[in-house]
Chains A and B, each alone.
Chain A
């Protein structure tokens, strides 16, 4: 158990809908990263938050957004969902100034 908690584990929704994925980082970790894993693209970095502020952005679509709250949990919001958004979404956390990231168990999103 990495100590990173993600909910829900599975999500099935229809095209055009909006969903919110939640992540609680390890105790003491200030950085939260979101990654998307699909069969063809592998694990891709989406966005990073550090102590409540956006720190880095990767290949994140404009339909996707995230935030980190004062208690350090983070949410990834996916809107206007398309079939191609079906993937595993992982959250990872790390201690400040340490590159090792610890991953949660992921949320499997299926868009139908």
Chain B
């Protein structure tokens, strides 16, 4: 079993739809959860960061973490064609050495928002 599982999609939705993306994980030591957006041939761009369980909202984006279920989600409201990209979940456990937060990534979900 991979440490982080993410449905690769592709996911195609009409403009204005609510998009739900999610990841499951197996390592209970993960405490830091991130969502990255990656456009084709570009570097991953940090969208949302959440520590431990709970919700976080930023504009049209909402991140949820449920540590009891080992499940994280990203919701995109009022989706736009510019949201078309690959979305990667990433998570990290703290290490004994200060300042070390290597990320374990899901494989990414490719999203297309159709005008």
Contacts and interface: CB of A to CB of B under 8 A. Distances in A.
Task: Check if A and B associate.
Answer: yes
Contacts, number: 72
B99 A100 contact: no
Contacts of A43: 44, 88, 90, 103, 105
Interface of B: 32, 34, 36, 41-46, 49, 88, 90, 92, 95, 97-108
A43 B98 CA distance: 23
Given A103-B43, A103-B45, A105-B42, A42 B102 contact: no
Interface residues of A, number: 30
Interface in A84-111: 90, 94, 96-106, 108
Nearest to B34: A100
B101 A58 contact: no
User: Which label, helix, strand, loop or mixed, suits the secondary structure of the A interface?
Assistant: strand
Contact of B99 (A31, A90, A108): A31
User: Which label, helix, strand, loop or mixed, suits the secondary structure of the B interface?
Assistant: loop
A29 to B, nearest CB: 10
A99 B92 contact: yes
A74 interface: no
A19 B105 CA distance: 26
B107 A42 contact: yes
A75 B49 CA distance: 27
Contact of A30 (B99, B102, B107): B99
Given A55-B100, A101-B101, 17 more contacts: A4-B43, A30-B99, A31-B99, A33-B102, A42-B105, A45-B102, A45-B103, A50-B99, A55-B97, A56-B95, A56-B97, A56-B100, A94-B101, A97-B99, A99-B49, A100-B46, A106-B43
